Structure 1
């Protein structure tokens, strides 16, 4: 995780476009200023950042399914549950599945785990729009390369 740049996932472990599923990993930093206030003596990853990590994971899945033709923007968070604490230094594994895509929206169901222990889950809805600026597309292509996005996912059949 690079919290200072709001990059909350580190690498794509698996992207299965046929099953519309993605698995990513996020190494929670052992030390970061965010933990100084959340909470002194008991540092934990804020739930809002766990939700954002789930949203970013879902976003990469949607980008793959849509072959980078449209950009997903988080629109609705439903059924978000923080089921346990995620501590500094832990490895968070996030799995997302695309449940629906159409009419300008996409819906995913997402779970975050540390080891086998479920820590968070949500149903997320995204609005889909053409890339609003060419610079954003260039940025997303660079980030895709950085986190190991499989190139075959963005090539057209």
Structure 2
């Protein structure tokens, strides 16, 4: 299990764009990760999306899945926290939104490594609420030394 400070050592994002609160399972044999983001009514994006019916923007759900994939990629690559590597979000394919994500939800983020070629990484990702798929996508990340 990883707490937020350990996550911050691996990801360049910070508030309000750090969208992974905790890693609950990391299986390097299966190359999967299970994380979550707790959503409260105090999230900035709920103020304008939408004022009378707050819904997490789909693009932020996809970003949260990409951040989970970035953490997994970091461990697969065996990068120690603090190394000068970042994973840029390069593409999202087969994106699907099935149910709105609202204040009070716990957004579970699951990523599975699909493959890598010339520092381009692909991950199958899911975002779930209460065990039901809210969104899914194939995320492509590009590894970059900074």
Which TM-score applies when normalising by structure 2? 0.83
1:64 — aligned with what?
75
Specify which of 12, 22, 25 is matched with residue 14 of structure 1. 25
Q: Does residue 114 of the first structure (1) align with residue 129 of the second (2)?
A: yes
Alignment root-mean-square deviation, CA:
1.8
The CA distance in 2 between the partners of 1:22 and 1:32, in whole Å, is 24
Unaligned residue ranges in structure 1 (runs of 5+): 133-157
Which TM-score applies when normalising by structure 1? 0.78
1:28 — aligned with what?
39
1:97 — aligned with what?
112
Measured against aligned partners, the alpha-carbon deviations of 1:77-133 in whole angstroms (never above 9, x if no partner) come to 111111110001110101100000121211000001011111000001111122x0x
Measured against aligned partners, the alpha-carbon deviations of 1:23-45 in whole angstroms (never above 9, x if no partner) come to 00110122233212111211010
Specify which of 53, 56, 65 is matched with residue 54 of structure 1. 65
Q: Does residue 74 of the first structure (1) align with residue 85 of the second (2)?
A: no
Cα 1:3/1:128, change in 2 over 3 Å: closer
Cα 1:40/1:108, change in 2 over 3 Å: same
Partner secondary structure for residue 5 of structure 1: coil
* TM superposition shift of 1:4: 3.7
Report the structure, 1 or 2, having the larger strand content. Answer: 2
Larger Rg: 1
2:98 — aligned with what?
83
Partner secondary structure for residue 85 of structure 1: coil
